A and B are shown apart, each in its own frame.
Chain A
Amino acid sequence: MIAAIAVKEAGRRRHRGGALRVVERNTLAYRRMWLAFVTGLFEPLLYLLSIGIGVGGLVGKIPGPGGEPIPYDQFVAPGLMAAAAMNGAVLDTTFNFFFKYKYAHTYDAMLATPLEVGDVARGEVIWALIRGGIYSGAFLVTMVVLGLVGSWWAVLAIPAALLIAFAFAGAGIAATTFMRSWTDFDFVNLALIPMFLFAATFFPISQYPDALQIIVRCTPLYQGVAIERSLTTGQLQWTMLLNALYLAVMGAVGLRIATARLRVLLQP
């Protein structure tokens, strides 16, 4: 009797850190693909140099989130930071997740251990956050070095990037549980590329006609861009709270759906 309880207890104790085991597994796996990990940072940085500084010199100053004019490179940098958090989280939780789920059968192997479906979903989301945190931290340091940060509020840009990553990671896994084949992943690009280009990342929302502005304001990436831009320029807005709430709800709902769906998919 006591032995049975002890075994049960031990099982539960091991279970408690389950999500972190998934994170540990990903860390180990990526040690062999460190180049693929490190170069993930290149894309936003190169965009910053090319569009922010190269083209930015031709733009000059434009109005910031609070209306005060700021140089274009200071305008586009937080937009790229938000987009990088989105892209990183989505890549990890869609393409990589699908490969592990469908082809590598990584999750079947995980569930043969004391890990539970919830651990898998949470673990992958935490991993996406860690990855996003490292990328956005490095990006913010680059912004400081290049003199593109105008306020101490920018310290909060990293937690904000994590919130963006959380929202897209939750939604990403949830969406992936509905994917049937690689062809369905065209929908991922179909959602990501237009948001990357048009969610006020490269130019202010005032460039659009009113009707389009409303649509852009509803996109998830716009929430992230708005928060990051207010923080790094120091032109704070109260609407940032709404933006943050939007992202938090999106991530939580996504994770909920993902866990429920995975329960069906992985434990028939």
Chain B
Amino acid sequence: MSTPPALRVVEKEWVAWRRLWKASVFQATVAPLLFLAAMGLGLGDLVNKGSGGVDGMPYLVFVAPGLMAATTMMQAAGESLWPVLGGVKWMRTYHAAVATPVGAGELFAGHVLWTCLRVLLSATVFLIVAAILGGVPSLWGILAIPAAVLGASVFAAALNGYAVTQESDVPFAVIMRIGLFPLFLFSGTFFPTSRLPDWLQPVSWFSPLWHTVELCRAATTGTAPSAGSVVGHVTFLVACLALGCWWGVRRFTQALTS
């Protein structure tokens, strides 16, 4: 049996990345850790002095899983917008790919899968450093890695589907600012959603990032509110991912086969 075409797409990305990985190290790995140091240690010290931390845990322990989920979401978004438009419009490598036995749907799957692998690497590095700094009290924390990858895949699938039919990258900056950035700041990342105004709290239930943050935090602290809540979060994210994949395959097919 030959290699599935989607894995060929992953292979192509891997070959390119092997030569270019240095350029992405800062954004993907170092910047999230700087956020962790500034917020977890610098700001965290003020929070711990001011109110004894969040829900009884030091602020570093609270914010580390939030930042892990939020920065991997941002990474997945960055990988799914500009590179996709580059492939379909600027460099047209996607047209080259579908001229081979690779289909549009497989191209989509391959690119999402590749993004997941990138996130896997960043999340692992983040978790290790957070653990060294003392932000991961439980060994269950290792499960935060698959949780972060699952959460990031939701955004990768949806944004791949969105980006593939765009005419220019001007709306991307707007999406980052008014779509993803509010999620980054208000999905229970830096402070518990119980501190949001009452009317805004139900809105956060629809944020895939909030579900990811809750899962990561349950893992790194080793305390889940209930087994049911974990199943609920996973179900929500898997449902979003399935929807995103269905839509993404459709959009890729529309854009690349005519």
Interface-facing stretch out of B120-128, B182-190, B244-252: B182-190
Chain A min CB distance to B130 (Å):
16
> Which residue of B has the minimal Cβ distance to A182?
B23
Give the size of the chain B interface in residues (CB under 8 angstroms): 33
0/1 per residue, B167-198, Cβ < 8 Å to A?
Answer: 00011011001100110011000110001100
Contact partners of A61 in chain B: CB under 8 A: 50
How many A-B pairs have beta carbons closer than 8 Å: the answer is: 93
Question: In this assembly, does B43 line the interface, its C-beta being within 8 Å of a C-beta of chain A?
Answer: yes
Rounded to whole angstroms, the CA-CA distance of A85 and B74 in the bound complex is 23
Complex interface residues of chain B between 44 and 87 (CB less than 8 A to chain A):
45-47, 49-51, 54, 59
| Cα-based distance from A40 to B31 in the complex (angstroms) | 21
B206 within 8 Å of A (CB atoms): no
CA distance A35 to B54 in the complex (A): 37
Q: Chain A nearest CB: distance from B167 CB in Å?
A: 13
| B181 engages A43 (CB within 8 Å) | yes
The verdict on A58 contacting B181 (CB below 8 Å), with A50-B190, A193-B31 known, is: no
Give the complex CA separation of A194 and B27 in angstroms.
Answer: 12
Residue-wise, chain A 115-156 has the 8 Å CB interface mask toward B (1 for contact) of 000000000000000000000000000000000000000000
Distance between Cα atoms of A39 and B170 in the complex (Å): 12
Bound complex: CA A28 to CA B182 (Å): 29
B236 within 8 A of A: no
Question: Which of A1-9, A158-166, A197-205, A248-256 is near enough to bind chain B?
Answer: A197-205
> Is chain B's binding surface mostly helix, strand, loop or mixed?
helix
Which of chain A's residues have a CB closer than 8 A to the CB of B45? Answer: 203, 207
Beta-carbon contact of B191 and A198 below 8 Å: no
- Residues of B close to A186: CB separation below 8 A: 23, 26-27
- Do A59 and B51 touch (CB < 8 A)? yes
Give which listed residue, A43, A57, A202, contacts B43 with CB less than 8 A. A202
B3 CB to nearest chain A CB (Å): 31
**A198 touching B42 in the complex, CB below 8 Å, given contacts A36-B173, A58-B54:** yes
Say whether, besides A186-B23, A189-B27, A203-B45, A36 and B170 are in contact (CB < 8 Å): yes
The reply to whether A190 and B26 contact each other, CB–CB distance below 8 Å, is yes
User: Which one of A36, A72, A190, A193 contacts B174 once the chains associate, using CB atoms below 8 Å?
Assistant: A36
A54 within 8 A of B: yes
A43 to B31, CA, bound (A): 17
**B163 CB within 8 Å of chain A:** no
- Distance of B31 from chain A, by nearest CB (Å): 5
Residues of chain B within 8 A (CB-CB) of A54 are: 185-186, 190-191, 195-196
Contacts of B191 in A (CB 8 A): 50, 54-55, 57-58
* CB within 8 Å for A39 and B46 given contacts A55-B190, A58-B51, A197-B35: no
Find chain A residues with CB under 8 A from B42 CB.
198, 202-203, 207
Task: Check: B39 CB closer than 8 A to any chain A CB.
Answer: yes
A197 vs B42: C-alpha distance in the bound complex, in angstroms?
9
A46-B170 in contact (CB<8A): no
**B38 touches A (CB below 8 Å):** yes
Interfacial chain A residues near B243, Cβ < 8 Å: none
With A35-B174, A36-B173, A58-B51: A203-B26 Cβ-Cβ less than 8 Å: no
Q: Please name 7 pairs of A and B residues whose Cβ atoms are closer than 8 Å in the assembled complex, sorted by A.
A: A39-B178, A50-B190, A54-B195, A57-B191, A58-B50, A59-B46, A197-B34
Contacts A33-B170, A46-B181, A183-B23 known; 9 new A-B pairs at CB < 8 A:
A36-B174, A50-B185, A51-B185, A55-B190, A58-B195, A59-B51, A72-B46, A197-B35, A198-B34
